[in-house]
């Protein structure tokens, strides 16, 4: 049998995964959904492999589909690089996606990646999202990389999830707990603070939706009782409330003045816990050129921070 698999078919598979649904992928590809479904079925028939599991909720990659996607991404990426090199009138259309907890260094690395490579055409996706959704995104290959942290408290639960979802965790740095506060907050003048110092201040943290477990909390020491709690869903709102309500949150201590200005400062927190911040990838998928480049940008920014 002579195989006639096309580059376009591979791009279809990649777009379905990136979009998260057949209908959304069809919109982005400017074709009808029946045409896209037919193309996928023809490819599956040709290679005698079921790439997608179809359910009432949509489609997800099969185990064979995950392996196929790895090859497809490499082929498409290398082909586009060749086109960019030898067909100068055809710009390279790059794609890359990362899901992360709310870290400014992750955004800085994302910005640096785009500036460094300077593509004329690209579809990049940065998702600052909930912890469980980061794992889901990487498991389903909607994102190539996920960024989150481990601690002595959540370590066993998170590593169990990584194993169940065939993910590998790679450490970036170890951070001691810090608080973020407004520069006008009295705590900002201290060399360090303890939990007693925080009792009367509003505590701000990122809500985790359905999976609102202490183990998925983005903030360290999630089980410690706080008198005043405020849940938020995005970083801009959290920072505005830190200033407006004189509140605090807990994080790594790395803050970007370029992105967040100088109104928020970091103060060390006296606590025994540590944050092992790292990135996860799918075990069956090697990082592409942009994935590896993004990790290097992360490391560069973290090194400049002194960690």
Q: What is the pLDDT of residues 181-212, one digit of tens each?
A: 999 999 999 999 999 999 999 999 999 888 77
Give CA–CA dist 84/213, Å, rounded. Answer: 46
Give CA–CA dist 239/180, Å, rounded. Answer: 9
Mean pLDDT across the stretch 246-268? 87
Residue 104 pLDDT > 60, yes or no? yes
Mean per-residue pLDDT of the chain:
88
Give CA–CA dist 98/294, Å, rounded. Answer: 9
DSSP3 helix / strand / coil % (the chain, rounded to 5): 45, 25, 30
pLDDT at 237: 92
Structure token pair of residue 97: 């996606």
Band (pLDDT 50/70/90 cuts) for residue 1 is very low
Range with the largest mean pLDDT of 5-14, 38-47, 199-208: 199-208
Band (pLDDT 50/70/90 cuts) for residue 307 is low
Domains of the chain in sequence order: 1-90 (1.10.10.10), 94-307 (3.40.190.290)
> Measuring CA to CA, which residue among 202, 76, 127 is closest to residue 84?
76
What is the DSSP-derived secondary structure letter of residue 88?
Answer: T
Mean pLDDT across the stretch 146-163? 95
pLDDT at 5: 80
Give CA–CA dist 55/281, Å, rounded. Answer: 25
| Total count of residues recorded for the chain | 307
pTM exceeds 0.95 for this model = no
Cα distances (angstroms) measured from residue 30 to each of 8, 25, 27, 35, 120 = 13, 8, 5, 10, 20
Range with the poorest average pLDDT among 29-43, 125-139, 224-238, 254-268: 254-268
pLDDT > 90: what percent of the chain? Answer: 52
Bigger pLDDT: 85 or 154? 154
Asked whether 38 and 10 are in contact (CB, 8 A), the reply is no
Range with the poorest average pLDDT among 94-98, 191-195, 228-232: 94-98
- Residue/partner pairs of 207-211 with CB below 8 Å, 24 or more apart: 207/130, 207/231, 207/232, 207/233, 208/130, 208/131, 208/132, 209/130, 209/132, 209/133, 210/132, 211/130, 211/131, 211/132
pLDDT at 91: 56
Sign of CA dihedral 32, 123, 97, 9: positive
Give CA–CA dist 19/137, Å, rounded. Answer: 11
What is the layout of strands, in order, in the sheet containing 275-282? 121-128, 93-100, 145-150, 275-282, 167-175
Distance of CA 25 to the CA centre of its chain: 20
Bigger pLDDT: 10 or 57? 10
Mean pLDDT across the stretch 81-94? 64
């Amino acid at each position: 049998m002579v195989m006639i698999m096309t580059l376009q078919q591979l791009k279809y598979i990649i777009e379905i995964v990136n979009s998260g649904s057949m209908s959304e992928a069809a919109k982005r590809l400017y074709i009808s959904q029946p045409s896209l479904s037919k193309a996928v079925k023809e490819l599956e028939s040709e290679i005698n492999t079921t790439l997608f599991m179809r359910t009432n909720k949509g489609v997800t990659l099969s185990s064979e589909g995950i392996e196929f996607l790895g090859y497809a991404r490499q082929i498409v990426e290398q082909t586009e690089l060749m086109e960019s090199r030898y067909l100068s009138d055809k710009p390279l259309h790059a794609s890359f996606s990362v899901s992360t907890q709310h870290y400014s260094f992750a955004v800085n690395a994302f910005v640096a990646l785009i500036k460094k490579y300077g593509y004329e055409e690209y579809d990049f996706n940065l998702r600052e999202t909930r912890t469980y959704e980061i794992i889901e995104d990487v498991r389903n290959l909607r994102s190539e990389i996920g960024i989150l942290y481990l601690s002595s408290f959540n370590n066993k639960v998170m590593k169990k999830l990584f194993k169940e979802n065939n993910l590998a965790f790679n450490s970036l740095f170890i951070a001691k707990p810090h608080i973020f506060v407004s520069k006008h907050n009295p705590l900002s003048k201290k060399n360090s603070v303890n939990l007693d110092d925080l009792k009367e201040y509003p505590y701000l943290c990122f809500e985790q939706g359905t999976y609102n477990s202490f183990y998925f909390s983005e903030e360290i020491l999630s089980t410690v009782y706080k008198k005043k709690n405020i849940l938020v869903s995005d970083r801009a709102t959290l920072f505005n409330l830190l200033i407006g309500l004189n509140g605090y949150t807990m994080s790594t201590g790395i803050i970007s003045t370029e992105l967040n200005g100088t109104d928020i400062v970091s103060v060390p927190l006296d606590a025994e816990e540590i944050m092992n911040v790292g990135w996860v990838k799918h075990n069956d998928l090697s990082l592409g050129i942009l994935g590896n480049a993004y990790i290097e940008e992360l490391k560069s920014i973290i090194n400049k921070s002194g960690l």
